[in-house]
Structure 1
Amino acid sequence: MDPTDPVAVLAGLIRCPSVTPEEGGALALLERLLGSEGFTVARPVFTEPGTPPVENLFAAIGVAGPHLVFAGHTDVVPPGDPAEWRHDPFGAVVEDGEMIGRGAVDMKGGIAAFVAAFARYRRRHGLPPGRLSFLVTGDEEGPGINGTAKLLDWAKAKGERFTACLVGEPTNPEALGEMIKIGRRGSLSCEVRVIGRQGHAAYPHLADNPVASAVQIADALLAEPLDGGTEAFQPSNLEITAIETGNPSVNVIASRCSIFFNVRFNDRWSVPTLKAELEGRIARGAAAERLRKGRSAAGYELFWREPPSEAFLTESGGLTEALVAAVVAVTGRRPELSTSGGTSDARFIKDHCPVVEFGLVGKTMHMSNERVALSDLRGLTDVYEALISRWFAANA
């Protein structure tokens, strides 16, 4: 396989069925490709009780000095119903100038482009004046426990220090060159488990219906906007994603009712201050009397789900400037510097070095018939090669 050809590299990666948490051969392929380019490659496996073990990859080349790291993931979401795909989701079929396959844009395409970009740079210029590495996990689409966070700590313990990081997630809404992500909103998830007393629907006075309290709590959570946004971020939003009792009987009052919600929040909040705000709203909802006339405040328990992530913003500087210049030079577009969207493994990397994200057009990620235009894949390779050249020249 020619490592300078992003199309060939991507086809090879797509043909590896690396559905989270399976390695599927994708990291092994990267190890062979990067090893042939002179990288020293390690593939640590991390474990945690109650979660599957996850293979990861760290590959580095070059000497001490400015250290640019490319971060990404080879794991993909399941393809779903094969009947909804025009071709085998792991077949890497090219049709009408597009390659179809799970992970084509999220994010094996970004990895293929950076492999090819480095291989081309090396043939034209030799090794960069510093250190360059790949930090690749198999756990981004999964729990996010045995992947990037632990791989970063592992690399740090080995003496690696990163100057700047590029994450190759798909960032462009419609066309290559539209958007660079320079930050991400935080994420906080919770279950509010309202405690009631089971009973017959015909005798409500003998029971305590937790659904009525759950409705009041949901109303209190949504009654007022969390904020109006900040200079760099859109307004925070709270979404109630489920209200459930586990009760299949229409004539039985349930003994409990759970509200599940997620908040994507901007830099006005920290995790502690947001929790305090939400806890106050929940308490007010539980104590409200509108649907619980004559009753005391409802009892409830809070379960904060998943590790929360803080909002972060990468200040403008060398990495952002070099990437903007590379994007403009290759695509002719001046990218928007954005903090929109969900979260990514950049939330872990920010604690180690400045980080930005730039990759392919993400319109088909996680969809059936996920696909990438070959022209975009080649264009992204050109952007990455220009970034390598510009960033090391500025930091030498």
Structure 2
Amino acid sequence: MDPSASPLELAVALLRIPSITPRDEGCQLLIGSFLQQLGFTLYPLRFGNVDNLYARLGSKGKNFCFAGHTDVVTPGEESRWQTPPFAAAIVDGMLIGRGANDMKGGVAAMLAATARFLQANPNFAQHNSLSFLITGDEEGAAVDGTVKVLEWLRQRQESIDYCLVGEPTCMQQLGDGLKQGRRGSLNAELIFQGRQGHVAYPHLADNPIHRAAPLLDRLARHRFDEGNAHFPPTTLQMTRIQAGDGSDNVIPGSLRLNFNFRFGTASTPAQLEEQIHNILAEADPPLPYTLTTHLSGRPFLTEGGELLQALSNSIRTVLDISANPNTAGGTSDARFISLDCPQTVEFGLFSPTIHQVNERVPVDELERLCQVYTHLLLTLFPAL
């Protein structure tokens, strides 16, 4: 791919590659070829069955990192797509394809912005560094992607000073929102133990559904915290309840419940678990249970700093809009990067169609996002 390629040309090339998690199918080869022509040193990193790419230009000063992912979710019902999901067709000014928003459009804008920045600042690598951290594991289990690359960087004693994650962040129009943090995610499985028996002889059994029902109601209604200035109150959402084998005449012996917490900095995972135990202790008589949890990401928050200030200024200058720094939405790989790089923010495209049929992005927004990224780099690293 020519280093002078537009963000649209880059996006089309990436969208035509069916890189459904965890298959990369050549996306990172395309990105690597582009960056190599700009002088970057490439480090292809495969962990498990996941392809990742770290690329760096320069070895001095501050290291600014663009982070993102090339994997996409499945297209779903392909017959419902206006055009084939990997055709990257342009219809009425819209680029349609799986990954247009999430997040090949953002990656394309990063690449094009990097080329423009280096053309405007040819001596950059003599004083500072630019890097790309691209994974193929963001939409999947997220265990062999960014986490492993960060471990590899630590072993090399290589640090990231600024990181911009190009996930879609805007809610109503391009530029109206950026993520200065994200809520944490805690998954839990709760198993209540009863005693199996015949439905005609309930006195000889102990029905865990009946006994757990009031406890589940208390869990659903419980206020775990009040949130704070940057994060809303913690939420608990039950995602699965299972009991019995479908027999109409058997009282089940156990009930399995799965749920998820989305939480900010007002509570820790340990505090949330403690509150669960306190609620379950209210059962009279006691209902035996086991609780297991898995922390998939801690909350992070970037308050102030050069990157946040420069990004806000670039959005205002290029798009003539004041971005709202917020922490809403799901998780992203920023939750891992922020542990090593306190100045981590997210800014990307308007995102109404992510993961949907006919995912799409206005063609002109790819160019405008590229301009914001270019302005940001020139703000942080003026040409010398």
TM tier, shorter chain? over 0.9
* TM-score normalised over the length of structure 2: 0.96
Q: Give the letter for the 1:315 counterpart.
A: E
Q: Tell me which of 317, 329, 335 is aligned to 1:347.
A: 335
Q: Who is 2:85 aligned against?
A: 89
Shift of residue 347 of structure 1?
0.7
Q: Who is 2:237 aligned against?
A: 239
Structure 2 residue 44 is matched with structure 1 residue 43: yes
Q: Tell me which of 351, 368, 373 is aligned to 1:379.
A: 368
Q: Who is 1:162 aligned against?
A: 160
Q: Who is 1:176 aligned against?
A: 174
CA distance in 2, matches of 1:84, 1:214: 41
Aligned residue for 1:259, secondary structure, equals: strand
Q: Who is 2:135 aligned against?
A: 137
Aligned pair in 2 of structure 1 residues 214, 387: CA closer, same or farther (>3 Å)? same
CA distance in 2, matches of 1:218, 1:189: 16
Shift of residue 382 of structure 1?
0.3
The CA RMSD measured in Å over matched residues stands at: 1.5
* TM-score normalised over the length of structure 1: 0.93
Aligned residue for 1:107, secondary structure, equals: helix
CA distance in 1, matches of 2:296, 2:119: 43
The alignment-based identity, stated in percent, is 43
Q: Tell me which of 293, 298, 301 is aligned to 1:304.
A: 293
Q: Who is 1:103 aligned against?
A: 99
CA distance in 2, matches of 1:213, 1:329: 60
Aligned residue for 2:296, secondary structure, equals: strand
Note if contact 1:2-1:9 (Cα within 8 Å) is conserved in structure 2. Answer: no
Shift of residue 246 of structure 1?
4.5
Note if contact 1:101-1:370 (Cα within 8 Å) is conserved in structure 2. Answer: yes
CA distance in 2, matches of 1:6, 1:198: 62
Aligned residues: 380
Note if contact 1:171-1:359 (Cα within 8 Å) is conserved in structure 2. Answer: yes
Question: 1:111-126 to 2 correspondence within 5 Å?
Answer: 111-126=107-122
191-200 or 213-222, which deviates more:
213-222
Q: Give the letter for the 1:202 counterpart.
A: A
Shift of residue 312 of structure 1?
1.7
Aligned residue for 2:101, secondary structure, equals: coil
Note if contact 1:182-1:313 (Cα within 8 Å) is conserved in structure 2. Answer: yes
Aligned residue for 1:378, secondary structure, equals: helix
Aligned residue for 1:241, secondary structure, equals: strand
Tell me the alpha carbon deviations over residues 204-228 of structure 1, each in whole angstroms, 9 at most, x when there is no partner: 1111111112212212212321122
Q: Tell me which of 182, 189, 196 is aligned to 1:191.
A: 189
Note if contact 1:62-1:127 (Cα within 8 Å) is conserved in structure 2. Answer: no
Shift of residue 127 of structure 1?
4.5
Q: Give the letter for the 2:196 counterpart.
A: Q
Aligned residue for 2:328, secondary structure, equals: coil
Tell me the alpha carbon deviations over residues 129-184 of structure 1, each in whole angstroms, 9 at most, x when there is no partner: 40000001111100010011110111222232111100000000110110010011
CA distance in 2, matches of 1:126, 1:218: 61
Shift of residue 10 of structure 1?
0.6
CA distance in 1, matches of 2:13, 2:263: 38
Q: Who is 1:369 aligned against?
A: 358
Shift of residue 279 of structure 1?
2.2
Aligned residue for 1:173, secondary structure, equals: coil
Note if contact 1:66-1:392 (Cα within 8 Å) is conserved in structure 2. Answer: no
Q: Give the letter for the 1:336 counterpart.
A: N
Q: Give the letter for the 1:232 counterpart.
A: H
Note if contact 2:244-2:251 (Cα within 8 Å) is conserved in structure 1. Answer: no
Aligned residue for 2:281, secondary structure, equals: helix
Aligned pair in 2 of structure 1 residues 392, 281: CA closer, same or farther (>3 Å)? farther
Aligned residue for 1:43, secondary structure, equals: strand
Q: Who is 1:50 aligned against?
A: none
- Where in structure 2 are there 5+ consecutive unaligned residues? none
